Amino acid sequence: METLIDTLCLPPVERFAAWQETCGTPPFPCYLNCAEPGEFSGRAAAGDLGQLGLLSLSSRGRYEFRRPQVLVRRSDPDQFRLVLSVGGCSGAVFDERAVPLCPGDLVLADTSRPVSGWRGCADGLSRWLMVSFPRRLLPIPDAKARALVGQPLPGATGLGGLVSCLIRQAAADPAQFRPSETPRLAGVILDLLAVLVAHHTDELRLAPPEARRQALLLQVQGFIERHLADPQLSPAMIASSHYLSARQLHRLFEPEELTVAARIRTQRLEACRRDLADPRLGHLPIHAIAARWGLPNAAHFSRAFKQTFGLSPQDYRQRTSEWPTP
């Protein structure tokens, strides 16, 4: 993302004033106040992901922010803004209701409504990631989304965890995605957010069917990744864990390139391939590497590996050991 300001490049006496100036500009201007401006430092970076705006704020030193009605009238981009508290201490006040934000929490803000809050502490780093988007892009009724504004949402598990993970990946380096990929990723984030909002307003039926499918698919894919090492991992286990019938599970994967069984097999073989190429794991026998990724049958693993990668596991390990270290 593009750096908007990094106050460490400035003398300490000028840092908070520069931060105030940056945060006081449209499209989301705020008033700032800091009791100890000489102890403050901060960095802001911004980027785009399709129609989503990404903003990263990190700061050291406590300060307060206010966006009263007068600033809302002066500049309102008519957007929702999803805030992810990545680390440190922070909180916000929506409609006179204080909301402390712990690392991992999510909260939905509305640029058309006043908000205030505080960020940081004297001896710790505080960081927020924010995703802004036009209100019309969220595929659920506007009134339902507005009802959830200011309600802290868990961002470490379940749907919130999926949303948080995608935001972190996108903010880490938006340029990693090709122009053709960004609309799809932005759409996935919005779909997941729609299901998350609908879930927490007990109106899941209002989320579009494709959004619900996408959310469930990502949950299942995450489950597969976490349980690859379990030799019991199977479509039946996955369906049972997600309260699905076998038919529902297979229908979920119909639009995908791989069936659920093929996805498990492909990811296990890829994990084995990575380990065989890792010189730090050269002491492990090949059958042990296969077993640690849920493939205890050595003969079956060897045949599947050669069929997929064109070399036996032994030949692949030998070949990669001969490659020059970059």
3-state secondary structure of 99: strand
Residues lower than pLDDT 70 in the chain? 122-123, 201-208, 322-326
Last residue within a domain, chosen from 225, 257, 276: 225
CATH code of the domain covering residue 257: 1.10.10.60
Question: pLDDT digits over 94-140, tens only?
Answer: 888 888 888 889 999 999 999 999 998 766 789 999 999 998 888 77
Q: What residues make up the domain containing 33?
A: 2-203+215-225
Domain identity same for 191 and 246: no
- Cα–Cα distance list, 194 to 84, 129, 283 (Å): 16, 18, 48
The helix/strand count (H/E) of the chain reads as: 12, 12
First-residue to last-residue Cα distance in the chain = 28
Question: pLDDT digits over 5-28, tens only?
Answer: 999 999 999 999 999 999 998 888
- Which two three-digit tokens encode residue 136? 């019309």
Domain identity same for 254 and 308: yes
% the chain with pLDDT above 90: 51
**CA–CA distance, 197 with 193 (Å, rounded to integer):** 6
Q: Is the full-model pTM beyond 0.75?
A: no
3-state secondary structure of 222: helix
Domain identity same for 41 and 11: yes
pLDDT of residue 206: 57
Domain identity same for 252 and 142: no
Nearest to 126 by CA among 88, 76, 181: 88
Burial call 121-138: b when 16+ CB within 10 Å, e when fewer:
eeeebbbbbbbbbeeebb
**CA–CA distance, 115 with 67 (Å, rounded to integer):** 5
